[in-house]
């Protein structure tokens, strides 16, 4: 694929107010106008380059948005205070009372809770489907459907969405395809594959330092203008605005994303292969055994690999908890939710990030009790990490010591 997302970020040129190599940080909530007429025009949304009030837009937020739009190949983008602060206004902008959404059933727990428990208050209904089955997706569309919603690589089961196939369906039924690309920045470029709107939680890989929450919506100028509209824009009116200081710090971290993603992917791929050959039930899109391995390959910007997320199933929640505690004691990572950090993070999704999903539904979608989700860190010596993790697993009889003899 010819699309080179990291080049698009690298090629942006910034001159700060005083010639600084970083753009100056805008430290104002409000902006002066030289004439009253310009203020009126700006409220009407037709005074380009004028700032009004920082909930609407601010120079620092626009710089970060510009870089993320470049990465995703969209006309523009709108950053927000969190990933949920990007997802919820997009869905409320695209849907009103009586409308219907077809969503993947394996999505981030917060998004699931929003669609399952919150949007019905506004008479917006959602059908949750197995997104890997395009015929089921299409059959779930009704005359009221407005949005197809999925994650390119789903949380936590690492199912892969066929974005081209979904985009075809969306086009035929006049729907918007909205893709949460949080798990696969740079690796997958959903808009290039036909998606209409791409969302990220910047909290994860993109910022990469687990020091803030943040989000972004990447889309057409028209759609982003709609979100920011002072009269009926969901981003503007719900008010989930990122702070300028934070936008500046996320922008600086974004510039090393391509290097970090390569290392996350390298390390995750290394561990996934070893875990699998040790006989552990391992899910990683880079493994040939992954049901969507070929699909991921056909969509990916190869250089960035299959991502930093993997899961293993150790049989029971008890074992999972024991293993996570032991690994944390050995300083192999943190027992923590979230992802994209320089240290490995692990959690048991069934009892944490996906606990919003009822137990029967968890079972149906293959979210088992013994599942551990790993966000693999930037470890410089992944072989050492693997050896130490294996020792932990042997100590808890998750791996028997025979595996060691066979490998030696």
| Chain positions contacting ligand PLP, by CB under 6 A | 82-84, 108, 110-111, 151, 155, 180, 182-183, 201, 203-204, 213, 215
Q: Which residue, 27 or 211, has its beta carbon nearer to ligand PLP? A: 211
Q: Which residue, 74 or 80, has its beta carbon nearer to ligand PLP? A: 80
- Alpha-carbon distance of 122 to 128, in angstroms, equals 18
Task: List all residues 6 or more positions away from 147 whose beta carbon is below 8 Å from its beta carbon.
Answer: 91, 94, 95, 99, 101, 102, 103, 175, 176, 177, 178
Query: What six digits make up the tokens of 153?
Result: 């690589």
List the Cα angle 180/255/263 in 5-degree steps.
75
User: Measured from the CB of residue 106, what is the shortest distance to ligand PLP in angstroms?
Assistant: 10
Strand partners, 288: none
Is the separation of the CB atoms in 369 and 317 below 8 Å? yes
**In angstroms, what CA-CA distances link 45 with 35, 42, 57, 237, 248?**
16, 5, 12, 15, 25
Is the separation of the CB atoms in 280 and 312 below 8 Å? yes
Q: Which residue, 111 or 282, has its beta carbon nearer to ligand PLP? A: 111
Q: Which residue, 83 or 377, has its beta carbon nearer to ligand PLP? A: 83
User: Measured from the CB of residue 128, what is the shortest distance to ligand PLP in angstroms?
Assistant: 15
For residue 401, the tally of other CB atoms under 10 A from its CB is: 9
User: Measured from the CB of residue 407, what is the shortest distance to ligand PLP in angstroms?
Assistant: 34
Element (H, E) at 334: strand 334-335
Q: Which residue, 149 or 183, has its beta carbon nearer to ligand PLP? A: 183
Residue nearest ligand PLP (C-beta atom): 83
Give the torsion sign (CA, 330, 336, 340, 341).
Answer: negative
User: Measured from the CB of residue 384, what is the shortest distance to ligand PLP in angstroms?
Assistant: 28
Q: Which residue, 56 or 204, has its beta carbon nearer to ligand PLP? A: 204
Q: Which residue, 7 or 209, has its beta carbon nearer to ligand PLP? A: 209
- Alpha-carbon distance of 51 to 31, in angstroms, equals 6
Give SS3 for 157: coil
- Alpha-carbon distance of 305 to 246, in angstroms, equals 28
- Alpha-carbon distance of 391 to 300, in angstroms, equals 34
User: Measured from the CB of residue 402, what is the shortest distance to ligand PLP in angstroms?
Assistant: 37
Is the separation of the CB atoms in 328 and 334 below 8 Å? yes
- Alpha-carbon distance of 269 to 271, in angstroms, equals 6
Q: Which residue, 84 or 314, has its beta carbon nearer to ligand PLP? A: 84
Residues in the chain: 408
Q: Which residue, 77 or 399, has its beta carbon nearer to ligand PLP? A: 77
User: Measured from the CB of residue 408, what is the shortest distance to ligand PLP in angstroms?
Assistant: 38
User: Measured from the CB of residue 3, what is the shortest distance to ligand PLP in angstroms?
Assistant: 22
Q: Which residue, 51 or 334, has its beta carbon nearer to ligand PLP? A: 334
Q: Which residue, 248 or 309, has its beta carbon nearer to ligand PLP? A: 309
**Closest-CA residue to 232 (of 35, 89, 59, 28):** 89
User: Measured from the CB of residue 203, what is the shortest distance to ligand PLP in angstroms?
Assistant: 4
Give me the helices (H) in 5-58, please. Answer: 5-10, 36-43
Task: List all residues 6 or more positions away from 106 whose beta carbon is below 8 Å from its beta carbon.
Answer: 131, 151, 154, 155, 156, 157, 159, 365, 367
User: Measured from the CB of residue 190, what is the shortest distance to ligand PLP in angstroms?
Assistant: 13
User: Measured from the CB of residue 353, what is the shortest distance to ligand PLP in angstroms?
Assistant: 8
User: Measured from the CB of residue 214, what is the shortest distance to ligand PLP in angstroms?
Assistant: 6
């Amino acid at each position: 694929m010819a699309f080179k997302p990291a080049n698009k970020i690298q090629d942006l040129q910034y001159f700060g107010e005083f010639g600084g190599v970083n753009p100056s940080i805008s430290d104002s909530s409000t902006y002066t106008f030289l004439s009253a007429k310009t203020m009126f025009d700006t409220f009407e949304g037709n005074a380009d380059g004028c700032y009004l009030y920082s909930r609407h837009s601010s120079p620092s937020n626009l710089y970060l948005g510009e870089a993320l739009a470049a990465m995703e190949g969209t006309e523009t983008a709108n950053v927000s205070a969190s990933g949920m602060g990007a997802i919820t206004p997009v869905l409320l902008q695209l849907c009103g009372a009586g409308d219907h959404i077809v969503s993947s059933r394996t999505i981030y727990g917060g998004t699931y809770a929003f669609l399952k428990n919150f949007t019905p208050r506004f008479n917006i209904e959602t059908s949750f489907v197995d997104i890997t089955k395009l015929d089921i997706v299409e059959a779930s569309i009704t005359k009221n459907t407005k949005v197809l919603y999925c994650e390119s690589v789903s949380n936590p089961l690492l199912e892969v969405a066929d974005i081209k196939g979904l985009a075809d369906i969306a086009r035929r039924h006049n729907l918007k395809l909205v893709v949460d690309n949080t798990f696969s920045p740079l690796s997958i470029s959903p808009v290039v594959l036909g998606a209409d709107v791409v969302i990220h939680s910047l909290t994860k890989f993109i910022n990469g330092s687990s020091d803030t929450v943040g989000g972004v919506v990447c889309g057409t100028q028209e759609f982003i203008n709609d979100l920011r509209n002072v009269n009926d824009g969901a981003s503007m009116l719900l008010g989930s605005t990122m702070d300028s200081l934070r936008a500046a710090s996320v922008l600086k971290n974004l510039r090393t994303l391509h290097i970090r993603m390569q290392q996350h992917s390298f390390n995750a791929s290394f561990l996934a292969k070893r875990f699998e050959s040790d006989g552990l039930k391992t899910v990683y899109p880079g493994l040939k055994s992954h049901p969507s391995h070929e699909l991921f390959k056909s969509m990916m910007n190869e250089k960035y690999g299959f991502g930093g997320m993997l899961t293993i199933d150790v049989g029971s929640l008890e074992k999972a908890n024991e293993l996570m505690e032991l690994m944390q004691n050995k300083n192999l990572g943190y027992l923590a939710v979230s992802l994209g950090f320089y240290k490995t993070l692990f959690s048991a999704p069934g009892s944490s990030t996906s606990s919003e999903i009822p137990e029967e539904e968890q079972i149906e979608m293959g979210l088992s009790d013994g599942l551990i989700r790993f966000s693999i860190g930037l470890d410089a010596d992944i072989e050492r990490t693997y050896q130490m993790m294996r020792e932990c697993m042997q100590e808890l009889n998750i791996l028997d010591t025979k595996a060691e003899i066979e490998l030696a």
